[in-house]
Structure 1
C-alpha cells in the first residue's frame, strides 16, 4: 500500500469522524446535559446573580487570559496555540457536574453555569478563536466559516439540550433511566474521539505532547485553583467555590474537538483538547480529594 493510498484512507476516516461521528457524539453529550436541566436553572441567574456572575467571569475573561499567557510563555506552534485557545473558550462539560456531586460542590450552580455557558459559547467561541487565528496564524477567519456552519453549531448545542429538558420535564422517570446510559455513552464517545485523534496524529504525537502537554496540565490545574480561590476571596460558600472550580476546570473537550475538526478542518488544533481531556479526569479527582481533606482539616482544627 503506497503513501498516497494511506493518505487517502486517513482523509476518509477523518472526514467520517468529523461529519458523522462528532456531531452524533456532541448531540448525545448535550442531550445528557439537558436531562439534568430545568427552566428554573436559567432563571437562577436572576435570583442568585453573584455566584453565577463570578463563575461566568472566570470562564469568559480569566481563562482565555490565562491560556493566552501560557501559550506565549511556552512559545507554542501556531496550530497548537489556536487549539489551546479553542479549549479555553469552550464551556464546562457535563463531567463537571459529576465531580461536583462527588466532592460536595453546589451541583445546581454547576448545572446553571453549564447551561448559561453553553448558550454564551455561541458568541464567545467565535470571538476568542478569531482573535487567536489572527494573532497566531495571521488569518482573519470566522468560526464558524459559513452561515450553514453557524446553524449547525447552534443546533448541535441547543437542540439536544432542549430535547433533554423536555424529557426531564414531561417524563422524569424516563429521564432518570436514560441518565446512566447517556453518561456511559458520553465517556466512551470521548475516549473513542481521543484515540482517533491520537491515531491520526501518531507521527507527530510525541512532539505535540512535548509542546502542549505541560501547558495543558498547568492550564487545567490553574483553572481549578483560580475558580476555587476566586470563589473564596469573593466570600462565596465552600460548595459554590468547589462548583466554580470544577466548572471552569473541566471543559467540554468534545465541542472543542468538533470545532477543530469539522469547522476549522485542522486535526492538529484538536490535539490540545484531546490531551486536556485525558489529563482532567485524574487532576480533577486529585483536586477534589485535596479540597475535601483541606476542609476536614480546617473543621478538625476548629
Structure 2
C-alpha cells in the first residue's frame, strides 16, 4: 500500500494529465479566448464558486477540522479527464470541457498551494501538520501542470505521432482512472464505510449543489444548453486522486489512507460524485435526443 500511495497514484495522475495535454493544440487555447464568455463562466464556477460551495457544505454539516480541510483541499483541485468523458457522453461541449480542464490544470501550481495552505491552517489551527508551501507547489506542478504542458509540446513537435497515440492513450487514461479509484476503494473500503456517516451527506450534497449552481449560473448568464451542462459537469466532477495525493504530501504520512484522514473526503467524493453526476448524464442524453427529434420534426 505504501508503494501504491507514494508511486502509483502520483504516476497515474501524471499519466492522465499527459494524455490530456497530448490531445491539445495551441489553437485550443486560442479558441478559449474566442469564446471568452463561456470559458470565463466555467472558470469562475470552478475556481471561485466551487470552494465557496464546499465551505458552505462544511459549515452546514459541521465537519471535523481535518475532514473540513480535506474537503476544501479537494475543491481547489482542477477537474480530471473523467469530466471530459462525462461531457462527451452527455452530448455537451467537449471542446469547452477539455479547454477548462487543461487551463485549470496548467494554473494549478499557482492556485492550489496558497488556497490549500490557507484551508489547512484555517480549519486545523495549531493541530495542522508541519508542511511546506513550496513542496505543495512543486508537487502540484510535477503531477498536473508539467504533464499537461509536456503533452502539448509533444503534440506540437510530433503532430502525426501524437494524433495516432491520442485516442489510445486517452482511453488508457480513463481505464487507469477508473482502476485507480476502484483500487483505492477496495483497499480502504472498511475505512470509507466507517466514515460514511460523517462524510457521506456532505460528499453527496456538494456535487449536487455544484451541478445545480453550474447549470443555473450558465443559464442566467446566457450560455446555450450544451455549454451550460458542460459548466455543470466541470464544476461538480473533481480530480479526487489529486486531492488524495495532496493530502498525503501535506500530512507527510504515506503508509495508508487510515493514517491520512485528510484524504478521506477525496476518496469518498470519488464515489459519491458519480452517484450524483451519472443520473444527470443520462438525463442530458435523453434531453439531447428529444431536442434533436424536435428539430427534425420542425424541418
TM-score class normalised by the smaller sequence:
0.7 to 0.9
Residue in structure 1 matching 2:19, options 32, 36, 40: 32
Consecutive unaligned residues of structure 2, counting only runs of 5 or more, are: 254-259
Residue in structure 2 matching 1:159, options 131, 143, 146: 146
Matched with 1:216 is 203
Describe the shift of the 1:63–1:235 C-alpha distance in structure 2 as closer, same or farther (beyond 3 A). Answer: same
Displacement over 6 Å in runs of 4+: 140-144
Give the total of aligned pairs: 289
Once structures 1 and 2 are overlaid, which stretch shifts more, 28-37 or 167-176? 167-176
Describe the shift of the 1:126–1:251 C-alpha distance in structure 2 as closer, same or farther (beyond 3 A). Answer: same
2:276 equivalent to 1:275: no
Counterparts of residues 4-153 of structure 1 (less than 5 Å):
13-14=1-2, 16-139=3-126, 145=132, 147-153=134-140
Q: Contact (CA 8 Å) 2:129, 2:251: kept in 1 or not? A: no
Once the two structures are superposed, residues 47-87 of structure 1 have per-residue CA deviations (whole angstroms, 9 ceiling, x without a partner) of 22111111111111111111111111111111111111111
Please give the root-mean-square deviation of Cα atoms over the aligned residues, in Å.
2.7
Q: Contact (CA 8 Å) 1:133, 1:139: kept in 2 or not? A: no
2:168 equivalent to 1:175: no
Consecutive unaligned residues of structure 1, counting only runs of 5 or more, are: 1-12
SS at match of 1:105: coil
Residue in structure 1 matching 2:250, options 236, 243, 263: 263
Partners of 1:131 and 1:82 in 2: CA distance: 9
Q: Residue 201 of structure 1: CA displacement?
A: 5.0
2:226 equivalent to 1:239: yes
Q: Residue 269 of structure 1: CA displacement?
A: 1.4
Residue in structure 2 matching 1:291, options 284, 292, 295: 284
Partners of 1:205 and 1:26 in 2: CA distance: 21
Matched with 1:3 is none
Q: Residue 282 of structure 1: CA displacement?
A: 3.9
Q: Contact (CA 8 Å) 1:125, 1:143: kept in 2 or not? A: no
Partners of 1:161 and 1:142 in 2: CA distance: 30
Once structures 1 and 2 are overlaid, which stretch shifts more, 123-132 or 136-145? 136-145
Q: Contact (CA 8 Å) 1:130, 1:143: kept in 2 or not? A: no
Once the two structures are superposed, residues 235-286 of structure 1 have per-residue CA deviations (whole angstroms, 9 ceiling, x without a partner) of 1111111111111111111211110113333521111111111223343221
Q: Contact (CA 8 Å) 2:108, 2:141: kept in 1 or not? A: no
Once the two structures are superposed, residues 86-134 of structure 1 have per-residue CA deviations (whole angstroms, 9 ceiling, x without a partner) of 1111111111111111111111111111111112322222232222212
